[in-house]
Amino acid sequence: MRVILQRVTSASVVIDDACVGQVGLGYLALVGFTHDDTEADIDYMVEKVKHLRVFSDDEGNMNRSLCDVHGSILSVSQFTLYADARKGRRPSFIQAMKPEQATQMYDLWNEKLRQAGIEVQTGIFGADMKVTLTNDGPVTICLESRK
């Protein structure tokens, strides 16, 4: 499982000219799954994201977590996180989980974030989405559930 976290002051996702999700302070989380990801990967990532200290404290140091700042997450599915562009000019996506399984994993990811007390807004799995964000810092963190 891969998650690209972007610390944001605001983010939104639009599909067919309609805003389907938006957040203020928090994260834009781009989320991708590979073939052998399991619920354990999701559990690990939920805890990592919830407690990662990348929000500024009163001295401007990255010492606060999403929980500390009462932030939200805009979660957007993104199979292209598993693109392999080492050969040729067109990326291969064979490492990305098949859509039938990935949509279930994405839904479980979002539900577990909510169960952890985080406000979550989402895009729509598989849709053509327009994502807008104001990256704060900028701070962008790449997370993997596997070593």
Q: What is the DSSP track for 88-107?
A: SSS-B-TTBPPHHHHHHHHH
Catalytic residue among 33, 34, 55, 78: 78
pTM of the full predicted structure? 0.94
Question: What integer pLDDT is reported at residue 115 of this predicted model?
Answer: 98
In the chain, which residues have pLDDT < 70? 147
Catalytic residue among 55, 79, 121, 122: 79
What fold is seen in the domain 2-144? D-tyrosyl-trna(Tyr) Deacylase; Chain: A; (3.50.80)
Question: What integer pLDDT is reported at residue 147 of this predicted model?
Answer: 65
Q: How far apart are CA 94 and CA 3, in angstroms?
A: 18
In sequence order, what are the residues at sequence separation of 6 or more whose Cβ sits closer than 8 angstroms to the Cβ of residue 140?
4, 5, 6, 7
Which bin fits 94, alpha (ψ -120 to 50), beta or left (φ > 0)? alpha
Q: Which residues of 99-118 are buried (b: 16+ CB within 10 A; e: fewer)?
A: eeebbebbeebbebbeebeb
* Mean pLDDT for the chain overall: 96
Cα 147–Cα 32–Cα 37 angle in degrees, nearest 5: 55
Question: What integer pLDDT is reported at residue 146 of this predicted model?
Answer: 80
Question: What number of other Cβ atoms are within 10 A of residue 48's Cβ?
Answer: 15
134 has catalytic annotation: no
Catalytic residue among 80, 101, 104, 140: 80
